[in-house]
Structure 1
Amino acid sequence: MDKILLKNLAFYGYHGVLPEENVLGQKFFVDIELFLDLCKAGISDDVHETVNYADVYQMVKNVVENKRFKLIEALAEAIANLILNKFSRVQEVIVQIRKPEAPVNGIFDYFGLTIKRTRKVKAYLSLGSNLGDKKANIDQAVELLRNHEHINVTKVSSYYETEPVGYTEQDWFLNIAVELETSLAPYSLLKYCNFIEKVLKRERVIKWGPRIIDVDILLYGDFRSEDELLTIPHPRMMERAFVMVPLYEIAPELEINKRNIKEIVESLTGEEVRKVDL
């Protein structure tokens, strides 16, 4: 992921185990590293597509100068949690705190620590194939998902045979749904899904036509997007039985756009979807 750096932020705070540290106070230096996808900000040149540095600085300043902790471990944890809770675009944060005037007899530059905290987001994907060995294509795509260090595949649905939609002069599809937890940002996850399609030699020739593999992001936590790169929730997903039926199997309590998934599945008609044992 891309990274935003805030280095050597200097504050005066009252943190420490010793009583005099809580009364007299001392200097603290803080470094913040924010990991997020900056692709859209780089393209749009819009501050709303990134994290405002001034907002981060003020948040850290308020915590260091206005709160009191015995341990800088607790101070660092408070900073990391606030950043992840406030800035939904941030997927990972590293906080380093240094105490150059720690009340320790000896010669030293500073005492300090570094912590790293990662946001885990639940996402749902739809995978499909109707060329070659369909099951092998899907299984290989799932394995590539499992191989990514920042993706944890938590659930995989059964296989479903589904009739083609749009362009009907083609073989039936084999489809599954996948639940995963990831620290990848939405656009980074999209890039990896596109990479999987490239590895499996997906070719885009006919719209809705035959394809060796489809790897689509359906949902990504509470994230919403409608742009030329990524639309989440996936457009028309609630109209497609080949998407909703496998998804319902692994997430029966899911709500999409304030609608229960069971209600959505029961409302679908006309598209045949058959569960198969392979």
Structure 2
Amino acid sequence: MEDQIRISDLEIYSNHGVYKEEKVLGQKFLVSAVLYTDTKRAGVSDRIEYSVDYGNVCHRIAEVMEKNTFDLIECAAETIAKTLLLEFPLIRHLEIEVKKPWAPIGMPIESVAVKIFRGWHRAYLGVGSNMGDRMEYISSAIDRIEEQQDTKVVHVSGLIETKPYGGVEQEDFLNGCIAIDTLKDPLELLDFLMDVEKQSGRVRTVRWGPRTLDLDILMYDDLVMNERELTIPHKEMHKRMFVLEPLAEIAPYLMHPLLRKTISELKETIEKE
């Protein structure tokens, strides 16, 4: 269980709501936060720089609430969560609750509240190219990812040259893997990566065909997901040496959540075949 810093019912008067009167007259809101962070270093050293300054957090929450006007407290909660995660690097995950004690529903009620849980996620991406300036396509893709405010590139593997997969006659690939920390959920990340591919000139006409850029979500935390648009872990990753070799370079002990083997073990299995 992660350490926590708790802020309970921070009282803020601000102007949010669907109705015009709410925006003009304003009303009281109560904001609570649970900040998940490692407090051990701060607890041993007794130094504030090793902890999350909850005073600064409170003032930042108040600024978000007072300097914006939201129709929905859902949007207020999302904005607070993203602001804190981006501005306080020691916060890994958090819970935000926004209460509206005077919700205008025409009935006696103590409050209406929205509570959300948000945080950083570690994802692993496969990257490849076999058309044009392969190195430039891959480098540009990494730059595009790093430009995202809500995504950080953590590790980049070396690139290996590999034969094409799937039986379509084409040029050899350059392949590698990237580890990122992101606030995007899996489908948001997929949409973003497909946009990066599109901007590189990627055209999806032939399955396993040549491409300027290929970006695949291999793993996302220990999530298991099987939707029409996206399967996580990538359903072919454990069969592909061009994935496992660069992935083992940056995350050898990463555990496949379904096969219950590390990336190094999966790589060794293929090497023995």
The aligned counterpart of 1:195 is 195
For the 8 Å contact 2:128–2:176, the answer to whether it is kept is: yes
The aligned counterpart of 2:47 is none
The aligned counterpart of 1:158 is 158
Name the CA shift for 1:189/1:146 in 2 (closer, same or farther; >3 Å): same
Name the CA shift for 1:148/1:15 in 2 (closer, same or farther; >3 Å): closer
For the 8 Å contact 2:151–2:182, the answer to whether it is kept is: yes
Residue by residue over 1:61-117, the C-alpha shift from the partner in whole angstroms, topping out at 9 and shown as x without a partner, is: xxxxxxxxxx9x6xx9xxx9xxx9xxxxxx8754446899xxxxxxxxxxxxxxx98
SS in 2 for 1:190: helix
TM-score (norm 1): 0.58
- Paired residue type of 1:266: E
1:262 aligns with 2:267: no
Alignment of 1:106-255 (within 5 A): 118-255=118-255
Aligned length: 182
Alignment of 1:21-36 (within 5 A): 30=30
Between structure 1 and structure 2, the one with the greater Rg is 1
- Give how far 1:262 is off: 1.2
- Paired residue type of 1:265: K
Name the CA shift for 1:14/1:248 in 2 (closer, same or farther; >3 Å): closer
Name the % identity.
Answer: 35
For the 8 Å contact 1:92–1:183, the answer to whether it is kept is: no
- Give how far 1:30 is off: 3.6
Alignment of 1:8-47 (within 5 A): 30=30
RMSD: 3.5
- Give how far 1:219 is off: 0.5
- Paired residue type of 2:219: L
- Give how far 1:252 is off: 1.1
For the 8 Å contact 1:126–1:243, the answer to whether it is kept is: yes
- Give how far 1:206 is off: 1.3
SS in 1 for 2:180: strand
Alignment of 1:39-118 (within 5 A): 94-96=96-98, 118=118
SS in 2 for 1:141: helix
Cα separation, 1, equivalents of 2:133 and 2:252? 29
Q: Which runs of 5+ in 2 are unaligned?
A: 1-7, 12-27, 34-54, 62-76, 82-92, 103-115
